[in-house]
Every structure is written in C-alpha cells, then in structure tokens.
Amino acid sequence: MAPFFIASNFLQYLQIEKRYSPHTVDSYGIDIYQFQCFLTERACQSFDTVNQRIIRNWIVELNEKKCSPRSINRKLTAIRTFFKWLHSKGVIEKNPAKSLRGLKTGRQLPTFARESEMEHSQWEHVFPAGFEGLRDKLMVELFYQTGIRRAELIHLCTNDVNKDFIRVVGKRNKERLVPLSPSLFTLLETYMNVKKSNGHVNERLLVLNNGKELYPKFVNRKIKMYLTLTTTMDKKTPHVLRHTFATHLLNRGAGLETIKILLGHSNLSATQVYTHNTFAKLNSIYAYAHPRGTKNT
C-alpha cells in the first residue's frame, strides 16, 4: 500500500536532495494535497490504486472549475514528479502519470516597463526620507539593474556585496555573479552605513524598519505601490522589473546568452521569450538599415 502520509517524505526529498526552493516545495505540497482530497472524495485510500483515468478525471474537474491551463499543467508537473518518485522508491509498481501530456496553452508574454518609465526623473520624489526610503529605493534598483528574483533579493546577505558585483544564490542553490554599476554600489554603501547606524545587525542585506528579515508580501506590496506611482502597467510585481531588466538589455544589443547568464536561467529557451518584445526595436532598425526600408524611401 502507498498511504497518503508518504507525501511528506516526498516533500523532504525535494527540499533536501533536489534543493528546490521553499516556494516550489510549498506549491508541490498544495498540489498533492488537492489531489489527495480528490482521491478521498472518490474513496481512493492509497496512491497505488491510482491509474491514468483517475488523474485525467482530476484534470477535467480542474478545468470545469475554471482553473487555467497553465495552472493545471503546473499541478500536473507536481503529480508527475511525485509518482515518478514513488515508482523509483518501489512504492508503486507502475507510474500512472508517466505518459500524461499537459494542456495546450497560449504563449504568455512578459510585461515590462518602458525605458522612459524607469528614468531617474520618474523616481526622484517617490521614496520617503530616511532608512525606509533608502531601503525601498535599493529594492527597486536591485530588481531593475540586476534582474534578481524576489526570493533571491530577500535572501541576499551583506557579505554577498562586492564593489563590482553581487553574489546571487538562485534556484536549486545555483550561484551567479551579477555586475553592479558604480551608482548602484554607491547606493548600496549608503544604505549599509545607515542600516548599521540604526543598529540593524541582521546578516540579510535588506531588512524591515525593525531590523527583521523581509517577507514576500511586504516586497510585493512595496513594488506595487511604487510602480503604481511611476508606470501605467496593469501588472505591478517584482517579476515585472526582472522582465524589464531583460527586455531593456536586449533592446540595447545584449546577446541572449549573456542575458541567460545574468538571469540565472538553466536553458536558453526560457530567455528567448523576451525576443518578441523587441520586435518594435527590430522593425525600427530594419526601417533605417535596409535599402528599401520605410525610412529610406
């Protein structure tokens, strides 16, 4: 028998052996719990009684509940990984999720801010005075100038900062070095001096007003507030600034391989999603550069 409580062992495997981020482990845990609830409602008491038809019925139910194809595919990935692990441990004889395919999804295009919206003049007077404003400004600049992820920013430590770069620990504990502009390093130095003078000794680089570690909802709320003040975008999240970082680099001639390294992507296909956003730029270059371009006729 493969009782449901074995799922906790799987989550430990993801965290310790696979080194998945806490966010990913939590998401997998929620997805598996939802699948367990579905099985319980159908009097299915263990995972070794699950077959492909049961999983397909779950997918149908999710679809009927208006769950998006992208979300369903994410849940299906969690279930595939889980049953693959069960099979590798000899807990089940066959993997019922092995040949299941995900749903077709439309390509989701990254949202990004225009360069004009990220100019210094747009941001001069949006930050409050004192430690809080300095920290918030540094948060925005780190997102925009380094393309760092939210979790990576939260876990940055003071000793990760160098005059020329920051050391970023990304997904699955992969490290990368991201260059710092002189202006960003100056801002970092100023912030760290004020942080020290305020008596904040937390090893984390960015901290709350009381010196404690940042948390995701706080970062989301701050970034949404500042992007609302400076941009016209509908979506206002830390990840939008990561998309903006990549798009602006590509627009100004950076190669995809370079952007891939800076973003910490494991493969180039994840980076190629930004190429569509630069079509307007490519069209402009073509118009000027080709002998029969519109700017030459």
- Please tell me what DSSP assigns to residue 177: E
Catalytic residue among 171, 222, 224, 281: 171
Cα(187)–Cα(167) distance, integer angstroms: 17
CB 92, CB 80: distance < 8 Å? no
Rounded Cα–Cα distance for residues 69 and 267 (Å): 23
Tell me the C-alpha distance between 289 and 270, whole Å: 29
> Of the listed 137, 149, 150, 155, which one is catalytic?
149
Judge whether 58 and 35 are in contact, CB under 8 Å. Answer: yes
User: Side-chain half-sphere of 210: how many Cα atoms within 13 Å?
Assistant: 4
Q: For this structure, is 242 an active site residue?
A: yes
Helix H or strand E segment including 243: helix 238-251
- Asked about 89 being catalytic, the answer comes back as no
Any catalytic annotation for residue 74?
no
Neighbours of 235 (CB within 10 A): 13
Please tell me which residue in 80, 236, 243, 265 is annotated as part of the active site: 265
Give the separation between CA 252 and CA 230, rounded to whole angstroms. 22
Catalytic residue among 242, 243, 248, 260: 242
19 is catalytic: no
- Judge whether 239 counts as a catalytic residue: yes
Q: What are phi and psi of 158, to 5 degrees?
A: -60, -40
| Angle at the Cα of 137 from the Cα atoms of 132 and 139, rounded to 5 degrees | 95
- Catalytic one of 144, 191, 226, 274: 274
Residue 274 annotated among the catalytic residues of the structure: yes
Show the tokens assigned to 294.
Answer: 């519109």
Helix (H) or strand (E) holding 179: strand 175-179
Active site residues: 149, 171, 239, 242, 265, 274
